Structure 1
Amino acid sequence: MSHRPPFPGRRSVLRGSLAASAALAVPAAAGAAPAFALSGRPEAGWGVQAGDVTTDSGLVWVRSDRPARMIVETSATESFRNARRWHGPLLGPGTDFTGTTRLRGLPPGEQIHYRVLLADPDDPRRTGEPVPGTFRTAPVRRRDGVRFLWSGDLAGQGWGINPDRGGYRIYDAMAALDPDFFLCSGDNIYADGPISATAALPDGSTWRNVTTEEKSKVAETLAEFRGNFRYNLLDDNLRRFNAQVPSIVQWDDHEVRNNWYPGEVIAATDTRYTEKSVDVLAARANRAFGEYFPVSTLRPGAREGRVHRVVRHGPLLDVFVLDMRTYRNANTPGTQTTDTQGILGEEQLRWLKRELSRSRAVWKVIAADMPLGLVVPDTTEGQKNIEAVAQGDPGAPLGRELQIAELLRYIKHRRITGTVWLTADVHHTSAQHYLPERAAFTDFEPFWEFVSGPLNAGAFPASALDGTFGPERVFVKAPTASNVSPAGGYQFFGEVDIDGGSGDLTVRLREQDGTVLFTKVLRPGRVGQ
């Protein structure tokens, strides 16, 4: 493997970042969220994040405890000698005191050390304690290789930050692999999943959660959605990880509500919600999502203002981030024989085709927030509909399968090579190989789909396979019971390692402690793998 070794200065950066954040916290009663004490200067108790990093740019995020001017300093070393200064936005209540600063003109393939200072708007000389972070820019030389991780589903089914277990420990296992970035495949929060102080476990013991007011009910107001994103940042492990590893983030249903689709109206029988318009909830959730993650297309003033995008990571890799929520049609049994809107919408499908055709990267990772060949039912409020793509009929494409068939046909006939599908959503880990010789629809080239997650949520049995595109489940690890807590295991993340010399792409499916469960090596240009 030609990937460079872990950068030696990262661990000390993490220690400094954690110390800066921890210094702001006031000890709280067991189970309660830590409070943040207001000092005489602006402080950043929620840590820092970097995102959507390319060969020469990246976004840096922070949240202040009061109005402040965001300032970012970057350097090639931890000493910050000859630092470059970037003046960011004024942070205020309009963005819940969050903000991002785009760094441009960075050297490719290099470790970038940064620190965020928050300055008093009325007296720029008064700044809070700087909060450090680091990331690597994407390489321009193929031989440098790329390593990244992916997973999804955080704080779901009532399983939140458990101080008895040390919080979200999976992030420390991921950080130990020193990835170039982390792809979060959706369900970053569970806006529809309140967090209680305790929950009973099957062995008679008790699971304890850190709790907050915003997580005590389903999210409806903008303040409640913002509070859901803040909740996860109370975890030390996640803040350390964010300071070390940049992210590429997409969303799925639980950022809003389970199995949501545009135009949906919540039934009167669901008394948890006073706001019944899912479109209203989705708009508030989208705003909070853009405030709490460094996403290039959702920055204030960004022209595109959308979740789907391409993040190019040098000559070896392009990541195509899909949005399988915003443009989908209503969930139905999925038996219609024509379906132009599908799960992506017509405009996003045209965008994806165009960008795949333009890509010159060796590997084209399609980051899907939902799986293709796994049947995901939607039984919300007693319905018998389909939530994802596959609808359980192994015959010719129907419903949303028609749109995916069109995309797979396009990839084949345009001779687009190196496509790999990554997803989460189903709360287990698996590897599926799709082959036309096994399929009802045959006009496509073989490809792989890899599933990982959850990060910290309930685990569920393996989903049924739909034979329309000929999937074979080569590996799966899943519980036999539903909603197994993180204390019962079955928490997963995946790793992708692209060798700079051979171009081989190695996928490893890992457990929460980093143990490798399954490995698959894919070679560039090979059909069928």
Structure 2
Amino acid sequence: MSECVERPSRRILLKTLAGGAGLALAGSRIGEVLAQGVAPAVVTADKLRPQLPGGVMSGDVTATSGIVWSRADRPSRMIVEYSTSERFQTFERRIGPAALESSDFTARIDLTGLPPGADLYYRVRFQDLANEKALSEPVTGRLRTAAVSPAKPVTFVFSGDEAGQGWGINERFGGYRVYEAMRRESPDFFIHSGDQIYADGPIQSEVKLPDGTLWTNLVTEAKSHVAQTLDDYRGAFAYNQLDANKRRLMAEVPFLVQWDDHEVRNNWYPGQQIGAAEKRYTTRAASLLAARAKQAMFEYNPFRINQLDPEQVYRGFQFGPLLDVFMLDERSYRGPNSPNRQTRLDDESAFLGPQQTAWLKASLKNSRATWKVIASDMPISLVVPDANPDVPKGTYEAWANADDGAPSGRELELAEILRFIKRENIENVVWVTADVHYAQATHYDPSRAKFTEFKPFWEFVGGPINAGTFGPNDLDTTFGPELRYVSVPKDNPQNQSPAARQQYYGRAKIDPASRAMTVSLHDLDGKSLWEVTLNPEA
């Protein structure tokens, strides 16, 4: 890591920071002050400085790179400094993009050339573009790059489903407590398994609980109605960043995020027209809503944008010889929700679609990591009906179709993937997911299945982060599932508030010596509820 600024760069930085506005400090003094990590004392009033209302966040890390994200409150330029030293004794500086209205003042930098398997410390500032003397206070964060050494353990956490069913940020309850529990795990990264927002779930200031007490929500205008405009979707993402627990995790742990339905609207699919029975929407085209929602999602997350397909959500990450992670997109390429009983795989029965399926197969085959984790935003065998008021009964939303028979509908695509894994002898594939708002561990074995051309595997369900608790869902037995743990009883009341303490996340730890993966499921305060140690094959 080089010294903070070389002589020529200092002059360039001075020009960038001063913008020709005639800073009172000499260039050498500015370099000295910045090297100490302090903003120039030209503008001191906080209201005149840019603010960072959403904090900072990192994500999409590799062995040598990571995205750093933040958001300002006005037109301003992003500046990032990073170091292997928490005290920033030496550091590098990157001058980033302008945060403008066109991106809701969000900005990101892809830091490259980082040391593998290292803790990197960073701090973000914004320089006001209308008043270039005004520089924000620095906001600090940390990210861990992927290890390349087999001696390094790997730990990650996973969960999903945030601010659903009207259960928002209750500061009296402690906010989104799952985020604080996950932060204490000090994981290498966090998989957000979807439903990052509930765009279709307005939040009121108070909700009366069954025991007569009140659940009190932090409220914003954007969350007072369903999201339809681009600014509505942006406001829903900004709402969750008001939670202090989430901002702390964002600042300390890289995020790998995917989406599910509630980033747009419950159970949406491409080409859907919202029916007249759904009275809350004036925009009826789900694809139009989804385009706005996806733009907001990309703006508010540390995605590394695919230059060949800037809207692509599915992607893979390598965490050294122990782990590869494959993030799926089960929204963008699916066919319509239906009874899900098609007898052949085509556009109507697609879930991942042919291009993403081919990518997943090739990625699994080419992986040399011990463990291959598939992050699916929906579970495999749990039956998820589409209960929207504008769809017929007997319509299904996920892979399963509740017939307990040979694969049909979307199950055909899954059967093709599982058959490929067996044929290519791909070992140690594990699935993680969320969506159903309770925790579960499921083991799949062909000896129990209607379809038998696959290797035994595990699936783990986390969530919700902060939403209503539901379940347990019915189980479709096509792929031979056996429940090993379910966090809620069969007669559990539906839509339990977070006050019922039925909020969950999963944690996986891979031991570098044995290469075993230990997966555990936890409650909202981090208590371990169940765990299993999986020994690798081959």
Normalising to structure 1: TM-score of the pair?
A: 0.91
Residue of 326, 333, 356 corresponding to 1:327: 333
- Tell me whether 1:407 sits opposite 2:417 in the alignment: yes
- Tell me whether 1:307 sits opposite 2:313 in the alignment: yes
1:380-459 matched pairs, under 5 angstroms: 380-381=388-389, 382-384=391-393, 385-459=395-469
1:21-32 matched pairs, under 5 angstroms: none
Q: CA deviation at 1:524?
A: 1.1
Query: Aligned partners of 1:78, 1:290: CA distance in 2, in Å?
Result: 29
CA contact (8 A) 2:75 2:130 kept: no
Residue of 183, 192, 196 corresponding to 1:188: 196
Query: Aligned partners of 2:115, 2:342: CA distance in 1, in Å?
Result: 51
Q: CA deviation at 1:40?
A: 1.4
Query: Aligned partners of 1:261, 1:275: CA distance in 2, in Å?
Result: 15
Cα gap change, 1:38 to 1:289, in 2 (>3 Å): farther
Deviations, residues 259-314 of structure 1 (Å, cap 9, x unaligned): 0101100012212100000000000000000000001136xx67443110001111
Equivalent residue for 2:275?
A: 267
Query: Aligned partners of 1:124, 1:521: CA distance in 2, in Å?
Result: 55
- Tell me whether 1:172 sits opposite 2:180 in the alignment: yes
Consecutive unaligned residues in structure 2, runs of 5 or more: 1-37, 39-44
Equivalent residue for 2:536?
A: 524
Q: CA deviation at 1:424?
A: 0.2
- RMSD across aligned positions (CA): 1.4
Q: CA deviation at 1:38?
A: 7.0
Residue of 223, 227, 239 corresponding to 2:247: 239
Query: Aligned partners of 2:298, 2:177: CA distance in 1, in Å?
Result: 25
Query: Aligned partners of 2:498, 2:165: CA distance in 1, in Å?
Result: 10
Q: How many residues are matched?
A: 489
CA contact (8 A) 2:207 2:215 kept: yes
AA aligned to 1:507 is V
- Tell me whether 1:70 sits opposite 2:78 in the alignment: yes
User: What's the secondary structure of 2:415's corresponding residue?
Assistant: helix
Moved more, 358-367 or 120-129: 120-129
Equivalent residue for 1:46?
A: 54
Equivalent residue for 1:348?
A: 356
Q: CA deviation at 1:451?
A: 0.5
Query: Aligned partners of 1:486, 1:80: CA distance in 2, in Å?
Result: 39
Query: Aligned partners of 2:368, 2:346: CA distance in 1, in Å?
Result: 28
Deviations, residues 401-441 of structure 1 (Å, cap 9, x unaligned): 00000000001001111110000000011111000010000
Query: Aligned partners of 1:302, 1:149: CA distance in 2, in Å?
Result: 30
Equivalent residue for 1:131?
A: 139
Moved more, 474-483 or 425-434: 474-483
Cα gap change, 1:380 to 1:38, in 2 (>3 Å): farther
Q: CA deviation at 1:124?
A: 4.8
Query: Aligned partners of 2:336, 2:311: CA distance in 1, in Å?
Result: 23
Q: CA deviation at 1:78?
A: 1.9
Residue of 155, 158, 182 corresponding to 1:150: 158
Equivalent residue for 2:512?
A: 500
Q: CA deviation at 1:117?
A: 1.0
Q: CA deviation at 1:336?
A: 1.1
User: What's the secondary structure of 2:352's corresponding residue?
Assistant: coil
User: What's the secondary structure of 1:468's corresponding residue?
Assistant: coil
User: What's the secondary structure of 1:296's corresponding residue?
Assistant: coil
User: What's the secondary structure of 1:496's corresponding residue?
Assistant: strand
Equivalent residue for 2:521?
A: 509
Query: Aligned partners of 2:526, 2:257: CA distance in 1, in Å?
Result: 21
In the TM superposition, structure 1's runs of 4+ consecutive aligned residues that sit over 3 Å from their partners are: 122-126, 301-304
User: What's the secondary structure of 1:467's corresponding residue?
Assistant: coil
AA aligned to 2:526 is G
Q: CA deviation at 1:169?
A: 1.6
- Tell me whether 1:481 sits opposite 2:505 in the alignment: no
Q: CA deviation at 1:172?
A: 1.2
Query: Aligned partners of 1:266, 1:477: CA distance in 2, in Å?
Result: 34
Residue of 93, 96, 102 corresponding to 2:104: 96
Moved more, 94-103 or 375-384: 375-384
Q: CA deviation at 1:121?
A: 2.6
Residue of 283, 288, 291 corresponding to 2:291: 283
Q: CA deviation at 1:120?
A: 2.3
Equivalent residue for 1:490?
A: 502
Q: CA deviation at 1:157?
A: 0.3
Equivalent residue for 1:112?
A: 120
Deviations, residues 80-102 of structure 1 (Å, cap 9, x unaligned): 12210011111000000001100
Consecutive unaligned residues in structure 1, runs of 5 or more: 1-19, 21-36
Query: Aligned partners of 2:53, 2:388: CA distance in 1, in Å?
Result: 38
1:452-467 matched pairs, under 5 angstroms: 452-467=462-477
Moved more, 196-205 or 289-298: 289-298
Aligned residues with identical type, % of pairs: 52
AA aligned to 1:446 is P
Equivalent residue for 1:7?
A: none
CA contact (8 A) 2:471 2:488 kept: yes
Query: Aligned partners of 2:483, 2:177: CA distance in 1, in Å?
Result: 29
User: What's the secondary structure of 2:450's corresponding residue?
Assistant: coil
- Tell me whether 1:339 sits opposite 2:345 in the alignment: yes
Q: CA deviation at 1:347?
A: 1.1
Query: Aligned partners of 2:392, 2:320: CA distance in 1, in Å?
Result: 45
User: What's the secondary structure of 1:285's corresponding residue?
Assistant: helix
Deviations, residues 170-191 of structure 1 (Å, cap 9, x unaligned): 2111111111111000000000
Cα gap change, 1:44 to 1:391, in 2 (>3 Å): same
CA contact (8 A) 2:108 2:302 kept: yes
Deviations, residues 462-501 of structure 1 (Å, cap 9, x unaligned): 1111111000011101251110000012100000000111
Question: Rg bigger for which structure?
Answer: 2
User: What's the secondary structure of 1:248's corresponding residue?
Assistant: strand
CA contact (8 A) 1:340 1:403 kept: no
